[in-house]
Amino acid sequence: MLDDNFAHKTFEVYEKFHSDADAKPLIALLKSNRILHEVEVPKQLVDTIIVGEAMAFAPKVFVKLRPQDFQRVNQLMEEDMLRLIQEGKIDLKQHFLYEFTNTELWDVIGKPDEWNFDTMVIAKYLLESRGVEVSAAQLNFMKEDRLLKIRKPRKGNDVWMIVLVFLSLQVFSSNIIGWIMPTMICVGMAYYYWKDVTIDPNGNKFYTFDLKTRNRGEAILIFAILVRMAALVWFFGVNN
């Protein structure tokens, strides 16, 4: 169920890209249609040697839209992609979806949260080119079914909850790193369980976790802060 507290006030991530070049077609489309948008290129603060090679494959460019513009942009992207295909500017035989079976193509269409929108358009086009009927009714049914699954709140990891409670008690250490690291992990994860939100393909926001998990996250966060405040009061009291 969507939360009434979420209003369309800010820009939200519509699409993620691995390079500026990959993002250019979408940005050009948005500019040509005068659609308000933001392009965010987060600064990579941590070296890949430290965090692992996976960071090198993480998205580098984030294109943000107002949530109320998501569906309009979806329509514009579909029209633009079909135009490029019909003009022969996209060689479908060279596209990775060309080798997909019909079942696999249906799976792509049915999971808009896992695929880029242009990929879904190509999947639909390939099915129709193979003589498979892709009706609006089928697409709407699959979309609504997927949205229900996406919007279903997740249950938090109980093991992680126990670990966070343990970390919240780690207030004494012989060095500053030993105090800061547990605090960052505990506070960050507790806040994540409490306040994290997910955006569906329509641009609607909802809490990622169920009410029980969010309440636990809030309780752990407050507990961790209180424990650290008490520890600081004790520390400075002893040393005065």
Structure tokens belonging to residue 90: 């996209």
Query: Residue 84 is encoded by which pair of tokens?
Result: 């490029």
Contacts of residue 215, defined as CB under 8 A and 6 or more positions apart, other chains included, come to none
* Distance linking the first and last C-alpha atoms of the chain: 53
Q: What's the pLDDT score for residue 42?
A: 74
Block means of pLDDT (10 residues each) for the chain, 240 residues, are: 51 86 91 93 52 53 90 91 89 92 95 86 94 92 88 90 86 68 87 89 85 94 88 70
**Residue 100, H or E segment:** none
**What pLDDT was estimated at residue 180?**
80
**At residue 86, what is the residue type?**
Q
pLDDT of amino acid 44: 54
Q: Phi first, then psi: give them for residue 13, nearest 5 degrees.
A: -65, 120
Residues in the chain, total: 240
Is the distance from CB of 69 to CB of 30 less than 8 angstroms?
no
Query: In this predicted structure, what is the pLDDT of residue 101?
Result: 96
β-strand pairing of 197-199 with 37-40: unpaired
Two structure tokens written together for 215: 């309440």
| Domain map (residue ranges) of the chain | 1-68, 91-152, 158-238
Order of strands, sheet of 37-40, starting from the edge strand that comes earlier in the sequence? 12-17, 61-65, 37-40
What confidence score (pLDDT) does residue 129 get? Answer: 94
